Every structure is written in structure tokens, then in C-alpha cells.
Amino acid sequence: MSSLNLDDFTDLIERPDGGVRRDAEERRERQIVPPGALGRLDDLGEWLAAAQSSSPVRPVERPRVVLFAGDHGIAALGVSARPAGSATELVREVIEGGRPVSVLARRLGVPVRVVDMSLDCEPDTFPPDVARHRVRRGSGRIDIEDALTLEEAEAAFLAGVAVADEEADSGTDLVVLGDISVGGTTAAGVLVAALCGTDASVVTGRGGEAIDDLAWMRKCAAVRDALRRARPVLGEQLQLLATVGGADLAAMTGFLLQCAVRKLPVVLDGVVAAACALVGQRVAFRAPDWWLAAHKSGEPGQAKALDRMALEPLLDQGVRVGEGAGGLLALPLVQAAAALAAELPEKPRIPDVEPGTPDEEPAERAEQTGDAVEGSQAP
């Protein structure tokens, strides 16, 4: 049995400041641009003000991309366009600056942090700042075996909590959360199907690099078989992550919940982040109030999870690559909403007029006019 009590998060997580949100709404009504004219940017600015507990909202000045990395044993069944165990290559490319998230991060001036949780490589393949939270080498093949032991799931979850604390303590004011994995979307699909009570085909997409029809059918079968193993442990979220998740997914779930505890807003990237958020919602129902859906990835599992959490994506650009790229595309929109909410001037106030003055002045003018007309007539 795990010594970790996830129920504690229900008590620790509060909603964003409702009073500050009302202040932000009232401030918005006083600005020169009519409420609603900026569309969702109005809601976005008010959400950010409540999350910051600050009106006017503060600018987002220290965002960060956090990517949890891992390999999944289920990839050995040919459910991904990449070979099993190749997430290590993706991590190396991200670190060296050759992936889409790297390009966007350079352009936007946002640091990228990669956390190795279960890459299929030697522990010393990457520097200690990447590998120090690592739990194991790869995750189990979830159609026939558990992804992790319960102890490993707890260690991964607590690693995510620790990373959230590190980011909050360092002054990060918004996180873009993503994953670097091979086989991760299959595990995510199982979690979403289990928690939403749907069949495998409803949540199974084609992944970041668009697998063909045969690979998609193999992926559906893998999700179906893993789903049978997930259903008996639906009531225990940590056991669910151990059974059909993976070290990276367990860490992302812990990270999301602790960010909500620390009042650190998070932008969710793709289907893996959405699946972990859905697990987090089961743990603490107020937690999704701290999260923002960046974009539609085209993965049906992501759409299902976001709908269940009532999170509406900001963008729809068909970005499937994952790795936080879609989340970074939404960042300028969040920053724009903050700037507009804080910097748009308010409408000029109409000076207060003493009671009776507007009625007296016309009468006085009429009396003066009448006197002048009478005085000008011939006797």
C-alpha cells in the first residue's frame, strides 16, 4: 500500500480568487473598449487576474516550458510512428535546439526544462539537472503488465510535486506543460477512456506523426486490452497511474496538482497533459480552475478529456507534434490578454453635478433672454 494520501489535495487546493476576478470584471467594464469586444481575451485576462490574486493583472514575465520525458513499453507493439525506446533521441534534439518547441522557445525567450522520468537509456545519458528525478528505465507494456510498481508510481508522483515546488520557488509565473514520449498517447488514451467510461476507438488518435491505418488498429487493440486492466482500479488514482500510466504521466499528475496548491497557473499542451489533468480532477475537483487548454491537437482523447473538465482550447491550428509546441503558441495570447487587461485606459468620468443645477440654468437663460427682448421693443 502507498503511504501517499491523494485526498489531502482536495483540502489544499483552493479556487482562484473570486473577489479579485469580480474586481477585474468591473475594471474591464470601465475601460474604453466595450466588454466583449476583445472576445475570449476578456475572460483570459480575468482568469489570470484571479490566479494571480491581483487586479490589475500583472504581466506574465517568467513563463517556462516543463516537459516530462519517458519511454513506454506499449510502443513495442508498433502503435507509434517512432520505434520503441526512441524518446531519448527526441530529448537530445530538444536540448540541442532542433525541435519545434526549441525554435519557438528561442523566439519567445522562454526557457525549456526537460525532466527524465523513464527514458530507455542509461541514467548518465543526460546531465543531472535532466535525470535527477528519474524513476526507472522505460515503463511496462500496459496491455499485459503494470506500467510501474505502486512504489515507483508514488516516487514519480512526488517527483512531479517537487518539480512544481522548484518552479514556484524560482519565480516562474506560468508553466507550459508537455511531454516527450514514445507510446505516451496510447497510455493517455487508456486513462481518458477509463475515466470517461468510453470505448477504445472513441479516444484513440493517430499520434504526433500520424500513424497509418494498420498501426491505428494495433493502437486501438492495445488501448482496449489495457482498458480491461484499468477498470478494476478506477477508484485509486495512484494505482491507476501505476497500472496503465507511466512514470512521466504520474509525475505530470503530481506536478499539476502541486501547481494548483502553489497557485501557479499551467497551460496544457496535448493529449498526455490533458489525460494527466483528468486524473488530477478526480483527485481534487477544484484543480482544473488553475489550468488552461492551449490548443486542439486533433487527438480525440484530448477533446474528450477537455470536455469533461469544461476547458475550451484557445487555438485550433492542427498542431500534433506535442512536446509543448502548441502550448507555446498560446503563450503570446495569454500575455496579450494580460497586457490589455492591465494597460487599456479607463473611460473618462463625467463630473458630478449638484442636484437642481441642470434645471435651473435653462430657466435663468430663458428669463435673461425674455428681459432682453422686452427691452428692445418700441414703446
Tell me how far apart the alpha carbons of residues 312 and 294 are, in angstroms, rounded to a whole number.
8
Distance, in Å, from the CA atom of 55 to the CA atom of 95, rounded to the nearest integer, reads 37
Residue the block writes with cell 478506477: 234
The one-character DSSP state at 345 is: P
Return the pLDDT at 318. 85
Q: How far apart are CA 131 and CA 104, in angstroms?
A: 24
Full residue range of the structural domain in which residue 320 is found: 62-335
43, containing H or E segment: helix 40-52
Task: Note whether residue 252 is domain-resident.
Answer: yes
Q: Tell me whether strands 63-71 and 174-182 are parallel, antiparallel or unpaired.
A: parallel
Q: Quick one: pLDDT band at residue 1, thresholds 50, 70, 90?
A: low
Residue 343 in any domain: the answer is no
Beta strands in the chain (DSSP E): 63-71, 112-118, 174-182, 266-268, 291-293
How many angstroms separate the CA atoms of 128 and 231, rounded?
Answer: 37
How far CA 253 is from CA of 5, 89, 95, 188, 277, in Å, comes to 14, 24, 23, 12, 6
Contact 80, 182 (CB under 8 A): yes
List beta partners, residue 71: 182
- The whole-angstrom separation of Cα 15 and Cα 146 is 34
pLDDT over 80 at 350, yes or no: no
Q: Tell whether 360 is covered by a domain.
A: no
Domain assignment present for 162: yes
273 found inside a domain: yes
Per-residue pLDDT tens over the stretch 288-339: 999 999 999 989 999 999 999 999 999 998 888 889 999 999 999 999 999 9
Task: Domain count for the chain, please give it.
Answer: 1
Reported as a pLDDT band with limits 50, 70 and 90, residue 347 is confident
Asked if the structure places residue 194 within a domain, the reply is yes
pLDDT band at 60 (very low <50, low <70, confident <90, very high): very high
What does the alpha-carbon distance between residue 324 and residue 267 come to, in Å, rounded to a whole number? 9
pLDDT tens for each residue of 209-243: 778 999 999 999 999 999 999 999 999 999 999 99
Give the model confidence (pLDDT) of 137-193 as tens digits: 999 999 999 999 999 999 999 999 999 999 999 999 999 999 999 999 999 999 999
Does residue 200 lie within any of the structural domains?
yes
Could you tell me the three cell numbers for 79?
502503435
Segments in 245-356 forming alpha helices (H): 247-261, 271-283, 300-308, 325-343
Is residue 41's pLDDT more than 80? Answer: yes
β-bridge mates for residue 293, sequence order: 268
Cβ burial, residue 262 (10 Å; 0-12/13-18/19+): middle
Residue of 299, 323, 343, 354 with catalytic role: 323
pLDDT of residue 356: 56
205, part of any domain? yes
Q: Is the peptide bond before 56 cis (omega within 30 degrees of 0)?
A: yes
Amino acid at 73: G
Q: In what order do the strands lie in the sheet with 112-118?
A: 112-118, 63-71, 174-182, 266-268, 291-293
Domain of residue 323, CATH code: 3.40.50.10210
Catalytic residue check, 367: no
